[in-house]
Chains A and B, each alone.
Chain A
Amino acid sequence: RKEVEQDPGPFNVPEGATVAFNCTYSNSASQSFFWYRQDCRKEPKLLMSVYSSGNEDGRFTAQLNRASQYISLLIRDSKLSDSATYLCVVSFMDSNYQLIWGAGTKLIIKP
């Protein structure tokens, strides 16, 4: 079983719609959670950290459910520029801050 699992998609969504996807993790000792965004042929870039209480950044909302071991990302009023692959990342807090990466969910926003 993979440590971090994501639906690979692609999710094809019309512009302006709301889209949400989840990521499950297997290790209950996981302590930090992130969503990264990766554009085609580019490097991953941090989109947002995911806090226990949930957090929002503009049109983006991230939630953590420790009991069920998943994190979610919600995008409201989707834009064409939101088309990308979204990577779920989990870490165990140690001095070296290693990250465990999901394979990503591909999102395509259609006009």
Chain B
Amino acid sequence: DVKVTQSSRYLVKRTGEKVFLECVQDMDHENMFWYRQDPGLGLRLIYFSYDVKMKEKGDIPEGYSVSREKKERFSLILESASTNQTSMYLCASSTPTDTQYFGPGTRLTVL
């Protein structure tokens, strides 16, 4: 069965803190994605990776960075958290020709 896990379900951080969100998949998928989801908006792609050490900017990369040192793990980093980064963060993985499978999401609140 497909499994994508995220390090935290809920996270509260303060403005200016560095935040790490971890995502792990056990399906040997090449592609991994980080999205944020806000009320009234569709999922917006922050970054994606199609191979180890490869990364591509999505639609809203500003204020974020990513790391993919191993195939199964894709990390999202908020270098200096701001209140407008309060959101639901969703990680997904896929093969190059298949649809995406999601982790349970991390609800991040930045105070």
Contact = CB atoms under 8 A, between A and B. Distances in A.
Interface residues of B, number: 26
Nearest to B102: A43
Interface in B33-67: 35, 40-45, 48, 50, 56, 58
Contact of A44 (B43, B48, B107): B43
Contact of B104 (A43, A49, A98): A43
Contacts of B50: 95-96
A110 to B, nearest CB: 22
Interface string B4-41: 00000000000000000000000000010001000011
Interface residues of A, number: 23
Interface string A25-55: 0000000001000000111111001000000
B60 to A, nearest CB: 13
Interface stretch (A14-22, A67-75, A76-84, A99-107): A99-107
Interface in B65-111: 90, 94-105, 107
Contacts of B94: 97
